Homo-oligomer: A and B are copies of this chain.
């Protein structure tokens, strides 16, 4: 396993779904950054299942604790360890399916790779619960990005095939806050909710697409040719369970455009060089060009579904079938939105530090 991300601003995640805790160590954070437990808790709360039908009503409190690296309300330069204790979970159901891997989950691959010694309870290290640690690190990263004026925003743009209408940035910002699905288009959100409800009733699940923005990124972030802005962001985003595709700017749709359509003309606006369009998603040659960074992430439907599925028994190498009862999120897309923001924030912090934009001490 390799559980660290970032070259100068480095996060190392640890913990399992049904173990004692999930936590993260953030190393390389400059000293002097003002940050409170509330700043972090607020971010972690965003991935809490809402009261909505979109998510399970299982209460996960996820109270964050600061174990190191913050003193008198500021980072000290030492590694910041944050964690949340797991509450007692009933793992008995998992014992039953230990050797009966759930389709779409990491049960089988983890069994093969770790020789069956992996903690299988609740998906262990492969549980979505691990993303709480990403959000903790993201909370620190967001705070740090604020110091260079960078802001991160993600929102749901598709669920179950329903696509939200394109909105202006300030409308997205405003609407996402209050929508349980984190979708900026209220009409689409209504239809998405209906589909989620329907999926839950039929013991099924839905996927979707999340869009992310980073605003006020200065031109010059990214370390090509290998550590491109796209490459390192994509790597961070693929660490989020269920993500199966990442694209920037026009992305896959650029493939069917002509060069004359896809090239973004440069122009001068208010004395600043900008591009008239933003098909590049704010990135040229792996380096930010000063325009808003835009990306989209494909989230597959939650593999946890209650209906009967075909699988195998790892002990006998025979076909078997499986029914996993219990509460499942019929759609995890809304809960993945803050996780996408977190991974963007962590990666951009690292690039900002590599480009010398963040000093060793925040004063």
A residues near B, CB below 8 A? 1-5, 7-8, 10, 12-16, 19-23, 25, 27-28, 31-32, 66-69, 71, 74-81, 83, 101, 103-106, 108-110, 112-115, 117-119, 124-126, 130, 158, 160-161, 199, 204-209, 219-220, 222-228, 230-232, 234-239, 241, 243-252, 254-268, 271, 273, 275-276, 279-281, 283-290, 298-305, 307, 309-312, 314, 317-319, 354-356, 359-361, 363
Contacts and interface: CB of A to CB of B under 8 A. Distances in A.
A260 B71 contact: no
A25 B12 contact: yes
Contacts of A355: 113, 360
Please report whether the interface of chain A is mostly helix, strand, loop or mixed according to DSSP: mixed
B245 A224 contact: no
A206 to B, nearest CB: 6
A352 to B, nearest CB: 11
B235 A117 contact: no
Contact of A5 (B226, B243, B244): B226
Which among A83, A126, A259, A267 has the greatest number of chain B C-beta atoms within 10 A?
A259
A10 to B, nearest CB: 7
Contacts of A106: 224, 284-287
Contacts of A74: 117
Given A67-B23, A259-B104, A219 B112 contact: yes
